Structure 1
């Protein structure tokens, strides 16, 4: 059975720039923060694994059949969340081969919406819900304010910028920021892991 695949991204999306907002993260420790997961458990971020694992963070995903506001495409790095979650799905076995023990995704979406997304796209890894941006507060993660937010009608909202961390135990080993293009990002993570084998540091 073939897995659901999102459509291609527009070719003229503006790319994000490196504003230095993640420069402080390498060697930081994951906080003792428990977030709800699509497997209906609480995942505590400093207890995920003693080995290497990946946490990728994205703003939010769109809804099938609902047009994405044009203004959303003009926000550098905002578009492409569905493509990114599918890219990690498709690379999951390869990530395990290069030493990743767990892949987690995180967004400000509700757990209810994330469960629908995981079922619809057959995502084999947990998605964590952080609508209050608690991890952003704990680690001073980059965020942005969006006026036109798919599926949400509450005016301007603060959302996560796209970012990925390779973590060893509780220590952040490497950070991908900015992330672009999102549909090729999981392969970028695999390439980095292949050139940085799992050795104690």
Structure 2
């Protein structure tokens, strides 16, 4: 297991700053996002349940993390979060949900991560911040990059039904989502 696949001790939990309070009940905008597999996806048109977990960025082995990454509350943990959604994917699907990951990284970068992590679901790229701005998703900036704060949305027929924010620890998010879906 690489250092990217586990959470270091002593990470600071992000505060609930209210940045996602406006999301429940909101209809997703009509827009397509490139995916790591298949055609571009318009989340607003998907029938049934969709789990969309937004994360800052996946790291790459042998590449340095952004400046003071472990000191930014909620930044660290994208790979463990994605691996947890991978590991719970069959259960989530059996609960009636499709899963997508979302970051502001470009699709080429995401394809490498999806392959390396053996993700059975697509990652969506919001490199142009279109969905981020349309939904007013919370972001932060590090090393000149605009990154999403970690938030997970449960969407039913294009409308946000449930919001998990802040998400911490990120490696437990998939289990929390599954528990909510099964309640």
Same structural fold, with TM-score higher than 0.5 when normalized by the shorter chain? yes
Which of 155, 176, 186 in structure 1 is aligned with 2:174?
Answer: 186
Corresponding residue for 1:140? Answer: 136
Moved beyond 4 Å, runs of 4+: 3-6
Aligned to 2:17: 19
Does 2:65 match 1:71?
A: no
Alignment gaps of 5+ in structure 1: 148-155, 196-201
- Two-structure CA RMSD over aligned residues (Å): 1.7
How big is each residue's C-alpha offset from its partner over 1:125-161, in whole Å with a ceiling of 9 and x where there is no partner?
Answer: 01011112111110111111223xxxxxxxx222110
In 2: Cα distance, 1:34 partner to 1:123 partner? 21
Farther-moved stretch of structure 1 (138-147 vs 122-131): 138-147
Shift of 1:41: 1.5
CA displacement 1:99-138 (0-9 Å, x = unmatched): 21x1011101111111111111111101011112111110
**Structure of higher CA gyration radius:** 1
Q: How do residues 150-161 of structure 1 correspond to structure 2 at under 5 angstroms?
A: 156-161=144-149
Q: Structure 1: how far apart are the matches of 2:19 and 2:99?
A: 23
* 3-state SS, counterpart of residue 43 of structure 1: coil
Q: CA deviation at 1:64?
A: 0.7
Q: Does 1:39 align with 2:37?
A: yes
Deviates more, 1:123-132 or 1:64-73: 64-73
| Aligned match of 1:29 | 27
Equivalent pair of 1:104/1:128 in contact (CA under 8 Å): yes
From 50, 53, 60, the counterpart of 2:50: 53
Greater alpha carbon shift after TM alignment, 79-88 vs 68-77: 68-77
Match for 2:85 among 72, 85, 88?
88
TM-score after normalising by structure 2: 0.94
1:112 pairs, out of 95, 98, 108, with 108
User: SS at the partner of 2:115?
Assistant: helix
Name the structure 2 match of 1:167: 155
1:40: Cα distance to partner?
Answer: 4.5
Does the C-alpha gap of structure 1 residues 146 and 70 become closer, same or farther in structure 2, counting only changes over 3 Å? closer
Residues 27-72 of structure 1: per-residue CA shift (max 9 Å, x gap): 0001101010001411012112x11111110011111112324601
